[in-house]
Amino acid sequence: MKITTRKIWASMFSLTLLMSCAVVPVLTQAQSGGTPAPSSSGGTGAIPKLENPLKFGSIEGLVTGLVDIALQVGVVVAALSLIWVGFKYVAARGNPKKIEEAHQALLYTIIGIAILFGAKVIVEIIKGTIEPLAPELFKNIK
């Protein structure tokens, strides 16, 4: 009896399907503490409480956090980019075409750094524009 690759994949798929349909619900039930609590309608459909996995309590906090993370990563990238531009100038060795490429790379790096450091200011400007339009959205943010 010849075992082909197709038969092996079919048996692996069957085993995975069996595990996901039979074993995973049992493990999930065990992690939740056994049987679910009865609901007021007489069924056993308890509503699970979801906790926010992020430390941000608002959209404004999320955007500010993302900008902070982008700033931390961007500073490293900007430093590496400046080092790369320096290498491009050194490698140009007086070649006008390569010096022009290095000038262009330096210009793009400076523009990127300006956008990077201006991101925090841009977020504050947008927040200052939106807050007067819909103050009820921002009452719990302070």
Residue 127 within any structural domain of the chain: yes
Look at residue 21 in the predicted model and tell me its pLDDT: 66
Question: What is the overall mean pLDDT for the chain?
Answer: 77
Instruction: Answer yes or no: do 31 and 78 share one domain.
Output: no
Instruction: Answer yes or no: do 28 and 73 share one domain.
Output: no
Instruction: Answer yes or no: do 1 and 71 share one domain.
Output: no
DSSP the chain: -PPPHHHHHHHHHHHHHHIIIIIHHHHHHHHTTSSPPPPTTSS--PPPPP---SS--SHHHHHHHHHHHHHHHHHHHHHHHHHHHHHHHHHHTT-HHHHHHHHHHHHHHHHHHHHHHHHHHHHHHHHHHHHHH-GGGSTTT-
Residue 54 within any structural domain of the chain: no
Residue 133 within any structural domain of the chain: yes
pLDDT digits (tens, 9 = 90+) for 45-104: 677 777 777 777 777 778 888 888 888 999 999 999 999 999 999 999 889 999 999 999
Instruction: Answer yes or no: do 80 and 124 share one domain.
Output: yes
Instruction: Answer yes or no: do 35 and 98 share one domain.
Output: no
Instruction: Answer yes or no: do 29 and 72 share one domain.
Output: no
Domains in the chain, number: 2
Instruction: Answer yes or no: do 74 and 99 share one domain.
Output: yes
Residue 53 within any structural domain of the chain: no
Q: For residues 121-129, give the mean pLDDT.
A: 84
Instruction: Answer yes or no: do 68 and 128 share one domain.
Output: yes
Instruction: Answer yes or no: do 69 and 31 share one domain.
Output: no
Q: For residues 10-37, give the mean pLDDT.
A: 62
Instruction: Answer yes or no: do 72 and 38 share one domain.
Output: no
Domain range for 22: 1-43
Q: For the full predicted model, state whether its pTM sits above 0.75.
A: no
